[in-house]
Amino acid sequence: MSDLLKTSPVIPVVAIENPDNAVELCLALNRGGINAIEVTLRTSKAIAAIKEIKKHCPKMILGVGTILTPDDVLASEDAGADFLVSPGLSPDLKVALQKTKLLALPGTASPTEALTAYEAGFHMVKLFPAEAVGGVKLLKSIQAPIPKVMFMPTGGVRTSNMRSYLDLPNVYAVGGTWIATMNDIENRDWASVEQKATEAVQIASSPKASV
Cβ(13)–Cβ(154) below 8 Å: yes
Query: Exposed/middle/buried for 31, CB within 10 Å: 0-12, 13-18, 19+?
Result: middle
Q: Return the pLDDT at 208.
A: 77
Would residue 17 show up in a list of annotated catalytic residues for this protein? no
Q: Residues 120-130: what's their mean pLDDT?
A: 98
Q: Return the pLDDT at 207.
A: 80
107-108 sheet: strands from edge to edge:
107-108, 124-127, 150-153
Digit-coded pLDDT (tens) for 57-92: 999 999 999 999 999 999 999 999 999 999 999 999
103-105 sheet: strands from edge to edge:
103-105, 83-85, 61-65, 36-40, 10-14, 174-176
| DSSP secondary structure of the chain | --GGGTT-SEEEEE--S-GGGHHHHHHHHHHTT--EEEEES-STTHHHHHHHHHHH-TTSEEEEE---SHHHHHHHHHHT-SEEE-SS--HHHHHHHHH-SSEEE-EE-SHHHHHHHHHTT-SEEEETTTGGGTHHHHHHHHHTTSTT-EEEEBSS--TTTHHHHHTSTTB--EEESSSS-HHHHHTT-HHHHHHHHHHHHHHHHSPPPP-
CA 87 to CA 176: how far, in whole Å?
13
Residue at 125 is within a domain = yes
Q: Residues 110-126: what's their mean pLDDT?
A: 97
User: Residue 163 CA to chain centroid, in angstroms?
Assistant: 16
**Containing domain of residue 24, as a range?**
9-197
Residue at 204 is within a domain = no
Digit-coded pLDDT (tens) for 149-176: 999 999 999 999 999 999 999 999 999 9
Would residue 38 show up in a list of annotated catalytic residues for this protein? yes
pLDDT-derived band at 211, boundaries 50, 70, 90: low
Residue at 118 is within a domain = yes
Residue at 211 is within a domain = no
Dihedral (CA of 105, 140, 113, 66) sign: negative
**Catalytic annotation, pick one of 38, 52, 131, 194:** 38
Digit-coded pLDDT (tens) for 11-55: 999 999 999 999 999 999 999 999 999 999 999 999 999 999 999
Number of separate domains in the chain: 1
Look up the pTM and report it: 0.95
Which residue type does 167 have?
Answer: D
Q: Please count the other Cβ atoms lying within 10 Å of the Cβ belonging to residue 187.
A: 11
pLDDT-derived band at 122, boundaries 50, 70, 90: very high
**Catalytic annotation, pick one of 126, 131, 194, 196:** 126
> What is the CATH classification number for the domain harbouring 37?
3.20.20.70
Residue at 190 is within a domain = yes
